[in-house]
A and B are shown apart, each in its own frame.
Chain A
Amino acid sequence: KNEVEQSPQNLTAQEGEFITINCSYSVGISALHWLQQHPGGGIVSLFMLSSGKKKHGRLIATINIQEKHSSLHITASHPRDSAVYICAVSKAAGNKLTFGGGTRVLVKP
């Protein structure tokens, strides 16, 4: 079993819909990261969090340390949000990342 599991693997939404991506992990962590990857490969770090909730624009990330679960929410989704969203954990501060398999999101106009 992978240490980091994401669901769903694929998600299609209509523009304006609220999107939720889930991430569960099975190891002790220092931080959890949400990353965005567009076609062509570049990865952008969206959030790094170790507790609670963070918000940036239309993106919200939450984490429940006791349940070892995190969610990424996209409010008022837009076609430009179409990308692969990847959850990753670091087991110690500044250490390597262990990645989930990613969630491919397609937002249709």
Chain B
Amino acid sequence: DTGVSQDPRHKITKRGQNVTFRCDPISEHNRLYWYRQTLGQGPEFLTYFQNEAQLEKSRLLSDRFSAERPKGSFSTLEIQRTEQGDSAMYLCASSLTTGKAFFGQGTRLTVV
């Protein structure tokens, strides 16, 4: 297994467009997390899944954001009607229920 992978690595989009990011966790990991990181700041929690169930969503996750993990394996994070304030690094991590988290390389989103 090659670890957590995220796709794409970079995305430039025009304001108002929809974007979707994908995360493939380490295969045996049942927990999957999405975080957002803006320049110079530490990451902030967005949402997490245990298997296919979305267990918690941050208040940061407005109604323009939606995340899924349909079969308990890969996950997608969609942002509708993007705004310039959505520009950030979107990080995915996975873990076993009580283990340490392994992070992907992130998807850097730029909204122009």
Using CB atoms and an 8 Å cutoff, list the residues of chain A in contact with chain B: 4, 33, 35, 40-45, 48, 86, 88, 93-94, 96-102
In the assembled complex, how far is the CB of residue A36 from the closest CB belonging to chain B, in whole angstroms?
A: 10
Contact with A along B80-112 (1 / 0, CB 8 A): 000000000101010111111111111010000
**With A and B bound together, what is the CA distance between A102 and B32 in angstroms?**
22
For B42, what are the chain A residues with a Cβ–Cβ distance below 8 Å?
4, 86, 88, 99-102
Q: Is residue B62 contacting chain A, with contact meaning CB distance below 8 A?
A: no
Q: Is residue B43 contacting chain A, with contact meaning CB distance below 8 A?
A: yes
Given the known interface contacts A94-B31, A96-B56, the answer about A41 and B106 at a Cβ–Cβ threshold of 8 Å is yes
Secondary structure type dominating chain A contacts: strand
**With A and B bound together, what is the CA distance between A45 and B4 in angstroms?**
13
For A99, what are the chain B residues with a Cβ–Cβ distance below 8 Å?
35, 42-44
Given the known interface contacts A99-B42, A100-B42, the answer about A45 and B103 at a Cβ–Cβ threshold of 8 Å is yes
Out of A43, A94, A98, name the residue touching B103 (CB < 8 Å). A43
**With A and B bound together, what is the CA distance between A93 and B31 in angstroms?**
12
The answer on a CB contact under 8 Å between B45 and A96 is: yes
For B106, what are the chain A residues with a Cβ–Cβ distance below 8 Å?
41-43
In the assembled complex, how far is the CB of residue B89 from the closest CB belonging to chain A, in whole angstroms?
A: 5
**With A and B bound together, what is the CA distance between A42 and B99 in angstroms?**
19
Q: Is residue B21 contacting chain A, with contact meaning CB distance below 8 A?
A: no
Q: What are 11 A-B contacts with C-beta separation under 8 Å?
A: A41-B106, A41-B108, A42-B104, A44-B103, A45-B101, A88-B42, A94-B97, A97-B35, A97-B43, A97-B45, A99-B43
* Top 3 A-B pairs, shortest CB-CB distance: A99-B42, A41-B106, A43-B103
The answer on a CB contact under 8 Å between A40 and B105 is: yes
In the assembled complex, how far is the CB of residue A101 from the closest CB belonging to chain B, in whole angstroms?
A: 5
